[in-house]
Chain A
Amino acid sequence: MSWQELKNKLSEHAYIANNELAMALFIARELERPILLEGEAGVGKTQVAKTLSEVYETELIRLQCYEGLDSAASIYEWNYQRQLLSIRASVDTGSELNDIESRIFSRSYLMERPLLRAIQQQRAPVLLIDEIDRADEEFEAFLLEILSDFQITIPEIGTISATSKPIVVLTSNGTRNLSDALRRRCIYNYVPYPDRKTELAILTKRFPRLSSNLAQQIVSFVQSIRKEDLEKKPGIAEMLDWTAALSGLGINDITSDPEALQASLVCLLKTQADLYSIPTEVSQRLANGAA
């Protein structure tokens, strides 16, 4: 599959990727390297991984990062309760200590977490490591080991090598700088807010029955509102939510009902300050400009 074919495939699955992103995904796949996607929240970074899993018809395994994420939650953990019950039962039946030990530290007592699960799939899955910037630097170091060798060492069992190399997608909102070591191992792409043409294509893909006039108005309005001084600019996800809301409200022209338009802005604007900064007069001005 060439990069243009990949781009078309993504488009068929309702993900409109720009050339840069399509090329980055293609190279990452061909070189079997992770891809690091950076960009504002809501520009479609996570959706890339979901769509890739659909394109390659494979499983999507997601690891949501957070502060304090450790190997027990991301790689593996022993099923302690089961081990304990097994020991109790074995004592009653008079089993040998070595037998008990080899049994309770076998695979059946291992609880696989996303990273271990990802490297044990027969068909290469898409491994989404979401919001890596939220995890600690130490977790990044664990990750480096796994991403470079695609193998995990469990002291009680040994080294588990990947049966198939997963397609790894890392996303970051840029809340902190990632280490150079991690960046170096990844193919990088910065996902910007889409331009007008791309956004219109996304909208018509997602809402094929939407009237072209309303689609144009929505895209123009969202493009304009992003230029306003906002704390949190609306991303694609917000734009799609807003479209769904407008459709649900039965609005065919955003200039027709100022009150309904203003009320529906809760789908686009996510903070109180932003809602205050776009009063009805401003939303009307933007709507008239979009019409």
Chain B
Amino acid sequence: MPVTKFFSRTSISHRIADFCHHLRNNGIATAPIDTARCLTVLKLINANEHQEVRLALKSFFMKNREDFIRFDELFDSFWFNERRQRHEHEAIDRNKTQTINSKTSPSIFETSGPSKNDKIDVPDNYNDQEADSSGDGKMIAAKTFNKMTTDMREFVQAEDENEATIIAQRIANAIRYRLSRRRKLSKKGASLDLRRIMRKSISTDGEPLNLLRKRRPETPMHLIGLIDVSGSMQPYARVFLSFIKGLIGNDLRTDAFLFHTKLMCVSDALRDNNTLRAANRLSMMAKGFGGGTKIGTCLNDFNKQFLGRILGRKSLVIVMSDGYDTDDPSILGSSLKRLKKSGCKLIWLNPLLGWKDYEPVNASITTALPYLDLFAPCNTLQNFLALENELRIL
């Protein structure tokens, strides 16, 4: 966690302003006006009781669950220098100019100026060149930005993958929400359905007593994800699986399939709340992971099993594959043609498309292109973000 570095301040307003800065540095958005309002809040409580101050600031500044849970740590790191205690264990040199305050001393709103022990808001790394590299908000932002543009096959560390999972799930949830076919709400309400009004008015001697409004039937999009888990796609498989898990969530109208040389339905396994059980179920299906690919045959199987049952005009099929296929391209072509006839939207996400100098010239891809509503890259998280806009237009 970045710890904000400040010169010693004496007034409450300055300290609160510094605290707001500290929150901003740690990714919590606080508006400048909040600083002033926060002082109003402190007037309402006993500002000498640090527990009350903690509760009040927590209620006032935190705006979502994640931040709400993090707040106590941020509060302690700023007002009680917990972070610095850890730093001092790590680097003894740093304590030349700093003194650790007792956590029990509620001196945060003393305004009489700094005493010998009152150095809690002395810059942590003041005079310390490491300050810029360890606790700077910009560095964090750059790191996040890099993650968004880094090719996902380079996500090797568990924490990167976790972050990728969270982002992928968020994006997937956002996409699903956007896909509803409801009309945009009008401030005046839904428009009048004149046909139904006239029909209804027959029973009231032509007087249109009942105003009926146009309403679209609630038929949200049915999402179907097909992920290629063959050898060439293995570096991306984990992140794509996370993406598809996010897409599925708890929505029973979504389905997920994995394919290599065979097609497997993994919807129920991914919907399973028990991670261990889900992993077991998936591992039982894992035979053939990282092997060859028969995209055409798998899509043909998919058509045979699900075309009549689950596909329709309100379906969106997302295929995530690099297009390297050991099948005859004509099988893929005929499968896609049949799939498209159902009226569904067809999207092909190809991670290789994001690579420099890659051209989609292999036979399978060129066969597939005429049937696709969207052919897009998906090798970075930023590609997924861009996808949200594309899907909105579709």
Interface residues of A (CB under 8 A from B): 2-3, 19-20, 23-24, 26-28, 30-31, 38, 67-68, 70-72, 77, 80-81, 84, 88, 136, 138-139, 142, 174, 176-177, 180, 183-184, 186-190, 229, 231
B190 touches A23 (CB 8 A): no
Report chain B residues within 8 Å CB of A81: 209-210
- A3 touching B45 in the complex, CB below 8 Å, given contacts A20-B58, A24-B59: yes
Please state if A188 and B37 are interface contacts (CB–CB under 8 Å): no
Q: Flag if B68 contacts A70 (CB, 8 Å).
A: no
Instruction: Check: B115 CB closer than 8 A to any chain A CB.
Output: no
Other than A138-B185, A231-B273, give 10 A-B pairs with Cβ distance below 8 A: A3-B45, A20-B59, A24-B59, A26-B44, A38-B64, A81-B210, A184-B31, A184-B63, A190-B69, A229-B273
* Complex: chain A residue closest to B44, CB-CB: A30
| Residues on the A chain within 8 Å of B185, using CB | 68, 70, 136, 138-139
Q: Is B189 an interface residue (CB 8 A)?
A: yes
From residue 170 to 226 of chain B, which have CB atoms closer than 8 A to chain A? 170, 173-174, 177, 182, 184-190, 207-211, 215, 218
Q: How far is the CA of A27 from the CA of B55 in the complex (A)?
A: 10
Flag if A27 contacts B60 (CB, 8 Å).
yes
- B45-79 at interface with A (beta carbon < 8 Å): 45, 51-52, 55-56, 58-60, 62-65, 68-69
B55–A19 CB distance below 8 A: yes
Taking a contact as CB atoms under 8 Å apart, the answer to whether A23 and B182 are in contact is: no
Neighbour of A180 across the interface among B63, B65, B207, CB < 8 A: B63
Q: Is the CB of B41 within 8 A of A67?
A: no
Residue of A23, A77, A139 near B59 (CB, 8 A) is A23
Compute how far the CA of A81 lies from the CA of B210 in the bound complex, rounded to whole angstroms: 7
A68 and B59 within 8 A (CB): no
- Assess whether B305 is interfacial by the CB under 8 Å rule: no
B65 touches A229 (CB 8 A): no
Pair A189/B59 contact, Cβ less than 8 Å = yes
- Please judge, given known A-B contacts A30-B44, A176-B173, whether A229 and B59 are in contact too, CB under 8 Å: no
A180 B274 Cβ-Cβ under 8 A: no
Q: Tell me which of A28, A67, A70 contacts B218 (CB under 8 A).
A: A67
**Bound: A27/B60 CA distance, A:** 8
Do most interface residues of chain A lie in helix, strand or loop, or is the interface mixed?
helix
Q: Which residues on B sit within 8 Å (CB–CB) of A84?
A: 207-209
Task: Give the distance in Å from the alpha carbon of A67 to the alpha carbon of B219 in the complex.
Answer: 12
A27 touches B59 (CB 8 A): yes
Given contacts A84-B207, A176-B173, contact A138 B184 (CB under 8 A): yes
Contact code string B26-54 (vs A, CB < 8 Å = 1, else 0): 00010100000100110011000001100
Which residues on A sit within 8 Å (CB–CB) of B182? 67-68, 136
Question: Within the assembled complex, what's the spacing in Å between the Cα atoms of A28 and B211?
Answer: 40
Chain B residue at smallest Cβ distance from A155: B188
What is the CB-to-nearest-CB distance from B244 to chain A, in angstroms, rounded to a whole number? Answer: 19
Name the residue of chain B whose CB is nearest to the CB of A28: B59
> How long is the Cα–Cα vector from A71 to B277 in the complex, in angstroms?
45
- 18 A-B residue pairs with Cβ-Cβ distance under 8 Å, sorted by A, are A2-B45, A3-B55, A19-B51, A23-B56, A23-B59, A24-B59, A27-B44, A31-B40, A70-B189, A71-B188, A72-B189, A77-B189, A81-B210, A84-B209, A177-B170, A177-B174, A190-B69, A231-B273
In the bound assembly, the distance between CA atoms of A84 and B40 in angstroms comes to 52
B151 → chain A closest CB, angstroms: 27
Task: Point out the residues of chain B lying under 8 angstroms from A3, CB to CB.
Answer: 45, 52, 55
Residue picked from A27, A71, A183, A186, most chain B C-beta under 10 Å: A27
Minimum CB distance partner of A178 in chain B: B64
Top 3 A-B pairs ranked by shortest CB distance?
A: A138-B185, A24-B59, A23-B55
A186: B residues at CB distance < 8 A: 63
Say whether A188 contacts B186, CB under 8 Å. no
Q: Which residues of A contact B177 (CB under 8 A)?
A: 176
Cβ–Cβ contact B62 & A70, under 8 A: no
Given contacts A70-B190, A229-B273, contact A27 B41 (CB under 8 A): yes
